[in-house]
Amino acid sequence: MSMIAAFYGGKSILITGATGFMGKVLMEKLFRTSPDLKVIYILVRTKAGQTTQQRVFQILNSKLFEKVKEVCPNVHEKIRAIYADLNQNDFAISKEDMQELLSCTNIIFHCAATVRFDDPLRHAVQLNVTATQQLLLMASQMPKLEAFIHISTAFSNCNLKHIDEVIYPCPVEPKKIIDSMEWLDDAIIDEITPKLIGDRPNTYTYTKALGEMVVQQESGNLNIAIIRPSIVGATWQEPFPGWVDNLNGPSGLIIAAGKGFLRSIRATPMAVADLIPVDTVVNLTLAVGWYTAVHRPKSTLIYHCTSGNFNPCNWGKMGFQVLATFEKVPFERAFRRPNADFTTNTITSQYWNAVSHRAPAIIYDFYLRLTGRKPRMTKLMNRLLRTVSMLEYFVNRSWEWSTYNTEMLMSELSPEDQRVFNFDVRQLNWLEYIENYVLGVKKYLLKEDMAGIPEAKQHLRRLRNIHYLFNTALFLIAWRLLIARSQMARNVWFFILRMMIFYLRR
Ligand SMILES: CCCCCCCCCCCCCCCCCCCCCCCCCCCC(=O)SCCNC(=O)CCNC(=O)[C@H](O)C(C)(C)COP(=O)(O)OP(=O)(O)OC[C@H]1O[C@@H](n2cnc3c(N)ncnc32)[C@H](O)[C@@H]1OP(=O)(O)O
Ligand SMILES: NC(=O)C1=CN([C@@H]2O[C@H](COP(=O)(O)OP(=O)(O)OC[C@H]3O[C@@H](n4cnc5c(N)ncnc54)[C@H](OP(=O)(O)O)[C@@H]3O)[C@@H](O)[C@H]2O)C=CC1
């Protein structure tokens, strides 16, 4: 019997960010392994014209939840969606809902965040810092609360090379930052943002670091733990391999590469690709929830959820395997054949951006114009290159994360819990994982049918022929122009022709 699964039985659990990538997998696992839990409260806002109920309905009816419905047929009754907007005061939660949350919650998993790298500082502070502070305040009023688990990121201190499971202070106190956001206007905030974030690459990593400081400072008597995952990728095993539902991290780039838009990237092939499957993060999160509530460690423990020190894989190997999978299961209607290069040199990278990315986009737009259609490829390419430039920071460096707490927790689990809540990435086979990841991107993000593979392969063969024809035509034109202008080129050309005739006659 799993002690962790039994622990969540009969519990009332509050999850923020339950509609996000990690939140959904967390809910799925909870319902599947502890179907006798009392209730999961989720804080949900309305979005894209959908009510909170419609959003929950959509999640529960997705493929991710198919197994849950078998184990926990009354899952609809056990999920309680509470309207909340984490950008608002008291999260805009109604009085009755707030009362229920305060009096019933046993465990909190705080997953909500803005993960955008380019969010204005004001917005990132609101969600990643102020909302965390408010949630802690709520937690301090919950008499039945046993544990508060905060999800941060392994990159909150990416300005360091070696990162321990401790909280590193930022130069300016989070409270001062929160206060200043109230009276500074947007223009001034934009001006001081680079100074505040210092040697971090974006507002995301900076505000996640501030969020951790807030957790430390406002923890009071709460039983708190912080989890720091690295780059979260598709599921490894559960509920099935390869599930992914957003474009963050590598997923968007896999699409861009598979569709032939992205053919080169400024990345260091030997740098560690610290990817971690989302189900591994969820298993560790649930184990931490149990451990924190039952063992009540004296201080706030931080758990690194990373792969690099247990089972390292580098970007070169990853890119190679991604390309190998495209050979087997190509994406449909590719713009160009997937064929890509890693370069560490900025000038080479700019050259490839011009030749391999921008030029084909301009030519394609020209073709669209000629055929009376609206050009769109250059715009799309510019956005893609902007996205890639923001991710480049993370594919040109390696970090070392110490994992004492994570290893300690692993050793505390019973063999059954180690199996059911497996977060031991030493068992992960990268080649298999990446292949399933690419397949998952094709199935769950692009919604492409496997039956379309022969047609996709045929399309790639056509693109290869067009590529050869284009190159041959380009060569002949260049040669023709050269011959017309240079006696030397003409002499070379006639010499080659004579040699060919000579050898053919022998
Ligand atoms: C030796 C062999 C060689 C082989 C070489 C092969 C190599 C070349 C090809 C590469 C093949 C791929 C191989 C894998 C390599 C992958 C590298 C992956 C790097 C990943 C690094 C991630 C680091 C994360 C570290 C921190 C982790 C965290 O803690 S947080 C989670 C991560 N957060 C994010 O990822 C958020 C990032 N996104 C954003 O911040 C924003 O979306 C944006 C700023 C990037 C863009 O914002 P914008 O306002 O312009 O637009 P938006 O509306 O958001 O989207 C615009 C369009 O772009 C699409 N989109 C969005 N995100 C991505 C993405 N990550 N990748 C690609 N495309 C993306 C989005 O859908 C929009 O599209 P349209 O709607 O069509 O316009
Ligand atoms: N993905 C990754 O690679 C990594 C993620 N992390 C951390 O893991 C956690 C979860 O990330 P992930 O699931 O990938 O992120 P997602 O972007 O997929 O999910 C974010 C969640 O936060 C919710 N949210 C955002 N703003 C508000 C708001 N104003 N009110 C209510 N809810 C809001 C979103 O709701 P809605 O659906 O309404 O937008 C969504 O449910 C985050 O804390 C992130 O920092 C850490 C390392 C890597």
Contacts of 347 (CB under 8 A, 6+ apart): none
Count of CB atoms situated within 10 Å of the CB of 371 = 7
| More confidently predicted of 341 and 372 | 372
Measured in Å, residue 472 CA sits from the centre of ligand 2 at 49
Q: What is the 3-state secondary structure (H, E, C) of 110-152?
A: ECCCCCCCCCCHHHHHHHHHHHHHHHHHHHCCCCCCCEEEEEC
Measured in Å, residue 114 CA sits from the centre of ligand 2 at 6
Measured in Å, residue 72 CA sits from the centre of ligand 2 at 26
Q: Is ligand 1 within 6 A of the CB of residue 252?
A: yes
The predicted structure's pLDDT at residue 363:
93
The predicted structure's pLDDT at residue 484:
83
Rounded Cα–Cα distance for residues 168 and 396 (Å) = 23
Measured in Å, residue 21 CA sits from the centre of ligand 1 at 15
The predicted structure's pLDDT at residue 78:
97
Q: What does the block give as tokens for 124?
A: 């990132």
**Percent of the chain, pLDDT > 90?**
93
Count of CB atoms situated within 10 Å of the CB of 287 = 25
Average pLDDT over all residues of the chain: 96
Residue found under tokens 């399309």: 459
The predicted structure's pLDDT at residue 381:
97
- What are the residue boundaries of the structural domains of the chain, listed by start? 3-239+279-312+399-408, 240-278+313-398+409-446, 452-505
End-to-end Cα distance, the chain: 84
Residue 178: is its pLDDT beyond 90? yes
Rounded Cα–Cα distance for residues 100 and 349 (Å) = 56
CA atoms within 13 A on the CB side of 259: 19
CA dihedral 298, 300, 303, 304 (to 10 degrees): -140
Rounded Cα–Cα distance for residues 124 and 169 (Å) = 18
The predicted structure's pLDDT at residue 485:
85
Measured in Å, residue 21 CA sits from the centre of ligand 2 at 7
CA distances from 76 to 53, 59, 65, 68, 239 (A): 10, 11, 11, 11, 19
Count of CB atoms situated within 10 Å of the CB of 284 = 24
The predicted structure's pLDDT at residue 171:
93
- Residues 9-51 pLDDT 10s: 999 999 999 999 999 999 999 999 999 999 999 999 999 999 9
- Residues 187-215 pLDDT 10s: 999 999 999 999 999 999 999 999 999 99
Beta strands in 319-461 (DSSP E): 341-343, 400-401
Nearest CA owner, ligand 2 atom 28: 86
- Residues 444-489 pLDDT 10s: 999 999 999 999 999 999 999 998 998 899 888 888 888 888 888 8
The predicted structure's pLDDT at residue 76:
95
Measured in Å, residue 250 CA sits from the centre of ligand 1 at 6
CA distances from 216 to 124, 127, 144, 209 (A): 19, 17, 21, 11
Give the 3-state secondary structure of residue 235: coil
CA atoms within 13 A on the CB side of 438: 24
Q: Best mutation site among 26, 85, 88, 115 for ligand 2, i.e. most ligand atoms within 8 A of its Cβ?
A: 115
Rounded Cα–Cα distance for residues 491 and 299 (Å) = 83
Bridge partners (DSSP) of residue 150 are 110, 226
Residue 506: is its pLDDT beyond 80? no
CA atoms within 13 A on the CB side of 265: 31
- Contact by Cβ (8 Å): 109, 151: yes
Count of CB atoms situated within 10 Å of the CB of 401 = 21
Q: What does the block give as tokens for 375?
A: 């050009």
Q: Is ligand 2 within 6 A of the CB of residue 211?
A: no
The predicted structure's pLDDT at residue 489:
86
Nearest CA owner, ligand 2 atom 46: 153
Q: Is ligand 2 within 6 A of the CB of residue 113?
A: yes
Rounded Cα–Cα distance for residues 479 and 490 (Å) = 10
State the closest ligand 2 atom to the C-alpha of 88, by its place in the atom list counted from 1: 29
State the closest ligand 2 atom to the C-alpha of 151, by its place in the atom list counted from 1: 43
Q: What CATH class does 3-239+279-312+399-408 carry?
A: alpha beta
Mean pLDDT within 374-380: 96
- Contact by Cβ (8 Å): 399, 228: no
Q: Is ligand 2 within 6 A of the CB of residue 129?
A: no
Count of CB atoms situated within 10 Å of the CB of 275 = 26
